[in-house]
Structure 1
Amino acid sequence: MQHQCLLCHYFIGPGLPGEKYLGTEGLFDIQNGWKAYFLAGGTAALKTAFLQKLIENFEEKGPLEIFYDSWNAQIMVGVRFPDQHICVLDGLYFGYTNLCPGFGERIISMDDCLRTEALQEHAAQIILFQARELAARERANRFIKASNALMEDSIQFVTECVDTPKMQTVTNRMAKRLFSKTDQRGSESIRLLDAITSDGMVHFYDETAAQVQHIYVIEDRHNVAPLYLNCLRDAAIQSGQHVISCVSPVSAGSRVEHLLFPDISTAFLTSSQFHTAKGCRHLHMSRFLNKEQMAAKRAWMTFNRRTTRALLKQAVLLFGEAEENRKIMQSFYDKAVNQKALKKVEDQVIEGISV
């Protein structure tokens, strides 16, 4: 029986160079009757309130996917309605090519919901606090990229210590147990289940656990899980499964940390030094490591882990600084919202989704 999540929560990445989970790929398909609304202009708070209104209108009418800003879990950046074949996305985060304007993709101007004359008198302050916000976010991203560089050094060494044939055998056994072979090739969607935010490491494990029947927790202290999950993902796709690959929030999409299989109501969640997951079944990645090789560089590995945590802690502080500046800037915009115009746009999109 196919299992479909009723309410799924994901993040959208922080804009690191090369990350593959940004953009609209896999979110909608115009050829299969999908339609996308892109929100242009406006503020994060204005678009969040707009998306929340849509959710309130449709959360009882079918499954939803909600997307959040990966540096601030309070900011919504998109909603996907699978049953209605409609997406409403923040164009700033997802980008858009507008290949089929008017019927496939539509642009909704959120600037029309603002009274520009009310903003003009605060223009200098808005520009100042926006610059401070962007500068803090840029510095935070540098710390994240530095932490990822350290992780990659450790992973390169750990990979040499992995008993690959043993891992492949164990993965094949798991795949045979879980997946029924079909003639069709499966598919993959890229999502982000956790993120480094202004509130620290935030994840949607509890929300995910509520939507699936079977949870496997991968206990992993040395970043071995991506190798195991890559093998399992490949086996699932070959068996015709739809796979939701949830990538690391610091790796620009290059490392898979969690796998979701909606068709069989199963999730594999990694539990590590950065995020703890709970489940009924635990898989320990240390079984695949050569302990003698690992012991030779134990001090170096410990140093890398501690330094990585320190770098990510600094990124969190900078995201908090960015959030403080965003709130000050947002206070000027809150007073300039044209509620009548906003209601008109809301009604327009709600009507489009309901058709």
Structure 2
Amino acid sequence: MTTEPQVRFYLGANSPAGFYSLYDQLIDPAQAADILILKGGPGCGKSTLMKRVARQAEERGLDVEYIPCSGDPESLDAIVLPQKKAAIVDGTAPHVVEPKYPGVVERYVNLGDCYDRTGLGDVRKEIMEAMKGYKACYQRAYRCLDAAAEISSDMRAIAASPAVEAKIAKRAKGILSREVRRNGTDSGKVKQRFLSAVTHKGLLCEFGTVDRLCKRVYELADTYRLGHLMLSHLLAGAVAAGHDVIACPSPMEPDRLEHLIVPDLSLAFVTSSPALPYEKRPYRRIRMDAMADLEAVHRSKARLKFSRKVSAALVDEAVESLAQAKAMHDELEALYNPYVDFEQVHTMADGIARELLAE
């Protein structure tokens, strides 16, 4: 028996500029029925609580959107329950979330109450030591990603030209005329999510989410990061035609699109690369490299080869720093965990589930 992949997106990214947050896109407070903001330190059970509520929601046949942590994809930073217009989110740094309509929509849940503060006093010194160096690992990772992004930008500048941009725009127009029909008179809405992340496990992309949401998947095979040029036209066309879209920026360049999903058309456009291949058979494959300025690419063949090698090495260094940060965080959680009342966490989760999932 095969199970369908979960719907998983990221709302935070380890980017060249540091931690990049899309948490304001989690759920529209003006349309939400309930948003629970979890507060509490390391190891207090925030992810455990969300996983428990999500499991009970799925057992009742409800959809769940999972928001894993970009630092540790095995841990959750949020869940969204679309049919209940509700969400639960870890509101602690670096993705601090504060209420817009406190008490009306959002409410705090203090998981710090599950700590045994007396017991934690016995490991006070060890905890303070474990905190040191954690941020430094992230800062080194960001510096490496920044250098890698600069090199990638240089590679794109070689492959792109006004003629290339015109060619891509024409191809996008053809796709829109074939795939996108007008839906009503209003424009569609844009929701932002990261589909990929730079994590302590390396570069990851939640292609399973696309396969869950869409039957037709266009693969943009793209070595030179030209995909944004096509995706921006496709996004504008789909929205103008009245379709809501999920725009997925690149964690390496959050101002540029990497993927695009149009759920009501069961249609998606995903960028693939040697580092992040789309391994299923796509509905259609578009070779973005074939639209590059091939003469310029040929002239710069040696330079591009060197740039790819250096960029990949820098990303590997960033991943190693994130792995070191993860190891330090695991040590910190190991210090806290014996002094957390997880039975209390489970009781809180079950109470929240009863409230949110009530018929």
Give the TM-score normalised by structure 2. Answer: 0.91
1:54 equivalent to 2:56? Answer no
Q: Distance in 1 between matches of 2:343 and 2:275?
A: 45
Counterpart in 1 of 2:164?
A: 163
Counterpart in 2 of 1:249?
A: 251
Q: CA deviation at 1:304?
A: 1.5
Alignment check: 8 A CA contact 2:5 2:209 kept: no
Cα 1:176–1:22, aligned 2, differ >3 Å: closer, same or farther?
same
The one-letter amino acid of 2:145's match is I
Q: CA deviation at 1:309?
A: 0.2
Counterpart in 2 of 1:353?
A: 356
Q: Distance in 2 between matches of 1:131 and 1:180?
A: 55
| Residues matched between the structures, number | 350
Counterpart in 2 of 1:238?
A: 240
The one-letter amino acid of 1:25's match is D
| 1:89-147 deviation per Cα after TM superposition (whole angstroms, max 9, x unaligned) | 11125433322211211011110111111111111211222222222122112211221
The one-letter amino acid of 2:231's match is L
Q: Distance in 2 between matches of 1:36 and 1:120?
A: 33
Cα 1:281–1:196, aligned 2, differ >3 Å: closer, same or farther?
same
Q: Distance in 2 between matches of 1:34 and 1:165?
A: 45
Counting aligned pairs with the same residue, the percent is 22
Q: Distance in 1 between matches of 2:299 and 2:44?
A: 51
Q: Distance in 1 between matches of 2:153 and 2:129?
A: 37
Alignment check: 8 A CA contact 1:6 1:63 kept: no
1:223 equivalent to 2:222? Answer no
The one-letter amino acid of 1:65's match is E
Q: Distance in 1 between matches of 2:357 and 2:271?
A: 38
Alignment check: 8 A CA contact 2:13 2:20 kept: no
Q: CA deviation at 1:79?
A: 0.1
Counterpart in 2 of 1:174?
A: 175
The one-letter amino acid of 1:39's match is L
Structure 2, unaligned runs of 5 or more: none
Moved more, 125-134 or 114-123: 125-134
The one-letter amino acid of 1:323's match is K
Query: Residue 213 of structure 2: SS of its match in structure 1?
Result: coil
Moved more, 33-42 or 189-198: 33-42
Cα 1:268–1:44, aligned 2, differ >3 Å: closer, same or farther?
farther
Alignment check: 8 A CA contact 1:68 1:75 kept: yes
Alignment check: 8 A CA contact 2:33 2:85 kept: yes
| 1:6-56 deviation per Cα after TM superposition (whole angstroms, max 9, x unaligned) | 941012323548789624433323332432111111325721111110111
| 1:295-334 deviation per Cα after TM superposition (whole angstroms, max 9, x unaligned) | 2222222222111100000111111111111111111111
Q: Distance in 2 between matches of 1:297 and 1:69?
A: 38
Q: CA deviation at 1:215?
A: 1.2
2:323 aligns with one of 320, 323, 341: 320
Moved more, 305-314 or 273-282: 273-282
Counterpart in 1 of 2:345?
A: 342
Q: CA deviation at 1:168?
A: 1.6
Counterpart in 1 of 2:119?
A: 118
Moved over 6 A (4+): 17-21
Counterpart in 2 of 1:78?
A: 78
Alignment check: 8 A CA contact 2:68 2:77 kept: yes
1:302 aligns with one of 301, 305, 309: 305
Moved more, 21-30 or 174-183: 21-30
Cα 1:107–1:17, aligned 2, differ >3 Å: closer, same or farther?
farther
Q: Distance in 1 between matches of 2:71 and 2:346?
A: 28
The one-letter amino acid of 1:295's match is H
Counterpart in 2 of 1:63?
A: 63
The one-letter amino acid of 1:190's match is Q
Query: Residue 255 of structure 1: SS of its match in structure 2?
Result: strand
| 1:244-276 deviation per Cα after TM superposition (whole angstroms, max 9, x unaligned) | 11111222x112111111111111111112200
Counterpart in 2 of 1:12?
A: 11
Structure 1, unaligned runs of 5 or more: none
Alignment check: 8 A CA contact 1:213 1:266 kept: yes
- Residues 251-266 of structure 1 aligned to structure 2 (within 5 Å): 251=253, 253-266=254-267
The one-letter amino acid of 1:304's match is S
Alignment check: 8 A CA contact 2:172 2:233 kept: yes
Query: Residue 45 of structure 2: SS of its match in structure 1?
Result: helix
The one-letter amino acid of 2:349's match is E
Moved more, 214-223 or 55-64: 55-64
Give the TM-score normalised by structure 1. Answer: 0.92
Counterpart in 1 of 2:128?
A: 127
Alignment check: 8 A CA contact 1:144 1:250 kept: yes
Alignment check: 8 A CA contact 2:158 2:296 kept: no
Moved more, 238-247 or 338-347: 338-347
Alignment check: 8 A CA contact 2:260 2:268 kept: yes
Cα 1:257–1:274, aligned 2, differ >3 Å: closer, same or farther?
same
Counterpart in 1 of 2:272?
A: 271
The one-letter amino acid of 1:121's match is D
